[in-house]
Amino acid sequence: MVVLAEARATLGRRAEQALRKSGAQASFVHTDVADFRSVQRLVRVVLERFGRIDCLVNNAGVLVVGPLVRVPVAALDRVLSINLRGPMLLTRAVLTIMLRQRSGSIVNVASQLGKFGAAGYAAYCASKFGLVGFTEALAEELARTNVRVWAVCPGLVDTPMARLTGIRAHERRGLIRPESVARLVLELAAGRRQEPSGAAIDVLR
């Protein structure tokens, strides 16, 4: 069973329907990852429906591009709230459950811009560097448990967010397919990869 947490109801329902058409069991729960009450509600609903949480994938993300001095403070706050604070809130909310179960997997979708800085991406880089550091620190905290955590660091993925970078349609050929990232996430969640907990794993093709 896959539970989809999404702030945009139309997008969440569309993804839910697409997964169901493919034969998967899916359920959409409207969630704002930057709002702790919303995160708590999500976890409560999942437990009420299914009784356990085996894997958390922190994939919500937003991007703002431009010189730091021109980026509105509200935009900086939004990037950090969704890209970094959101994963921390969700992880905090599910950890007690996973520790009680004595098992669980957490996958944080970071970026190559969580390893290398780039002009015009200061807020995004800060959030993704923070997410990689959070992953490493959490792995140390959980070292004596059976709860594992990784960061996935793709290059530019062929999603609507790529358009915000200024990439044009004819340049999309070199972008990473979303399926490549999803495949790695699934392999980590299913225990089919050997990377140690805390690793920041590249996805470059």
- Which residues, 6+ apart, have CB-to-CB distance to 133 below 8 Å? none
- Which residues, 6+ apart, have CB-to-CB distance to 125 below 8 Å? 113, 114, 116, 117, 118
For the chain, the domain total comes to 1
- The answer as to whether 69 is a domain residue is yes
Environment class of 35 (CB within 10 Å of its CB; exposed 0-12, middle 13-18, buried 19+):
middle
**Strand pairing partners for 200?**
151
Q: What is the pTM of this model?
A: 0.93
- The answer as to whether 12 is a domain residue is no
Average pLDDT of span 100-120: 96
Task: Report whether pLDDT(170) > 50.
Answer: no
- The answer as to whether 25 is a domain residue is no
Average pLDDT of span 24-45: 95
Torsion over CA: 73, 74, 75, 77 (sign): positive
Catalytic residues: 124
Encode pLDDT of 41-56 as tens digits: 999 999 999 999 999 9
pLDDT at 174: 73
CATH number, domain at 169? Answer: 3.40.50.720
pLDDT at 158: 85
- The answer as to whether 23 is a domain residue is no
- The answer as to whether 174 is a domain residue is yes
How far apart, in Å, do the first and last CA atoms of the chain sit? 28
Question: Domain range spanning residue 175?
Answer: 54-203
- The answer as to whether 21 is a domain residue is no
Confidence class for position 166, pLDDT limits 50, 70, 90: low
Angle at 35 between CA 114 and CA 77, to 5 degrees: 50
Tokens 């944080």, located at residue? 108
Q: How many CA atoms lie within 13 A of 33 on its CB side?
A: 27
- The answer as to whether 6 is a domain residue is no
